[in-house]
Amino acid sequence: MDSEKILKHIAECCHVDKTVLEVYFHIFVEEMMQALKGGNDITIAGFGDFSILVPEDACERTPMGGCGTSKRREIRFVPSKEMEESLNRW
């Protein structure tokens, strides 16, 4: 299921204009991205945790042979206990 279908379903269930809901959703996603770029972890109760990982093999080599700054970061998602239990009940 993609974000379009999710937003359409929420708009229908909550009797909200879909275009307004799309604006809220994009603001939410942008705020999440800014928080992650700033090095902050995000916790959504009942859903899970988002954090940034810097893989050890992602460091940039310096001329002196050492490891300089890392260029690659990965988003890590850990589902909440409630979500895992809900998914495993099937």
Rg (CA), the chain: 18
Convert the pLDDT of each residue in 4-34 to its tens digit. Answer: 999 999 999 999 999 999 999 999 999 999 9
pLDDT at res. 63: 64
> 27-41 burial by CB neighbour count: b if 16+ within 10 A, else e?
eeeeeeeeebeeeee
Convert the pLDDT of each residue in 33-81 to its tens digit. Answer: 999 999 999 999 999 999 998 777 656 666 666 666 656 788 999 999 9
pLDDT at res. 44: 96
pLDDT at res. 51: 95
